[in-house]
Structure formats: structure tokens, C-alpha cells
Amino acid sequence: MRRRKKWKKAPQARSKQDKCITKWCRNRRAQKSNGYYLKHCWKCRSRMFKKNCPATYVLNMLRHSARKRDLAFTLTLAQFKEFCFKTGYLEHRGCQPDALTVDRINRNEGYHIWNLRVLTHEENSRQGADNAPRDTADTDEPTTPYEIPDDEPF
């Protein structure tokens, strides 16, 4: 069984003045480092940003993924918006098998505009998560560096 990282719950509001103004939200309003309180909590702000600026949100998620894997990231917002316009990525992304995902052509390279392509979730998961080059991962030949003699039983 895979263990998941436990996330901290958003802090509950203690009073009505301390509460996020989003309907049905009970979380405490977000506070900036200078002590200024915002109208919404961080969770609601993140959801609004995802809705209002989807290209910037997805680009930030790709940047976070690259930083987590220690990969180079040279993609700009203008390049990514053009990429999304040409491929229709923002309209068709999601969690379904036929939804689109961003894939790197060369696994050894980072997130560069010339190294990105769009695949469906089904195609992307068919490739597997191993770190073998894609050319050798799709072949049926054994990947051992030596020949197996015919007289060995196993």
C-alpha cells in the first residue's frame, strides 16, 4: 500500500471577522507576511486563480514538478500559451483516459518548448514510469547486455 503525505488542514476561523468571505468556507482569512489580511483563505484564492488564469496555473504546476525532479525549466508563459492554443491542451486536460497531458519527448532533458508534446493519459501511462529510454522500452527484445546460451534451462 502506498503511503501518502498527510496535508495540514486549513486553519478554522475563530470569529466572524476572521472568516473567509467565500460562501460555505469556514477557513481563516489569508494573512500576508506584512500582517495584512486578505478577504479569502489561501485555499479559496488558489481555486479562484485556477479558474481565472488556467494557463498560468498549469505552467506553475509544471514548474513545481520540474523543481521537484531537479530538471531544467526554460518555458515562458507566452510560449506555453501558444503551445496550448496549437494543441488544445487547456480545453481537453483532465483525469479521464482520453484527456490530454504534457509529456517530455526526451526524458533526459528538462521542460523546454522543443521537448514538449501532448499525449492522452492512456498513451502516457502505457509508456510506463521507468527511466529507460523510450526506444528500448517499446521493443520486445531482452535488454540484457549479454546473450543467453540455448543450453541453459533458465
| CB 77 within 8 Å of CB 59 | yes
pLDDT higher than threshold 80 for residue 8:
no
pLDDT at 26: 83
pLDDT higher than threshold 60 for residue 152:
no
Which tops the pLDDT comparison, 106 or 2? 106
Alpha-carbon separation of residue 133 from 26, 65, 68, 109, 127 (angstroms): 48, 20, 21, 12, 10
Residue 125, helix vs strand vs coil: helix
pLDDT at 76: 94
- CA–CA separation, 27 vs 41, rounded Å? 6
Highest mean pLDDT among 16-30, 41-55, 124-138: 41-55
pTM of the model: 0.67
Looking at the DSSP assignment, which residues form a beta bridge with residue 27?
A: 12
Which tops the pLDDT comparison, 30 or 89? 89
Average pLDDT over residues 130-143: 51
| CB 86 within 8 Å of CB 100 | no
Which tens digits make up the pLDDT trace of 77-122? Answer: 999 999 999 999 999 998 898 999 999 999 889 999 999 999 999 8
Average pLDDT over residues 11-37: 83
pLDDT higher than threshold 70 for residue 137:
no
Residue 111, helix vs strand vs coil: strand
Q: Which domains does the chain have, with CATH numbers?
A: 9-52 (no CATH), 53-131 (3.30.40.220)
Residue with cell 488544445: 88
Q: How many CB atoms lie within 10 A of CB 79?
A: 15
pLDDT at 57: 94
pLDDT at 34: 83
Average pLDDT over residues 54-66: 94
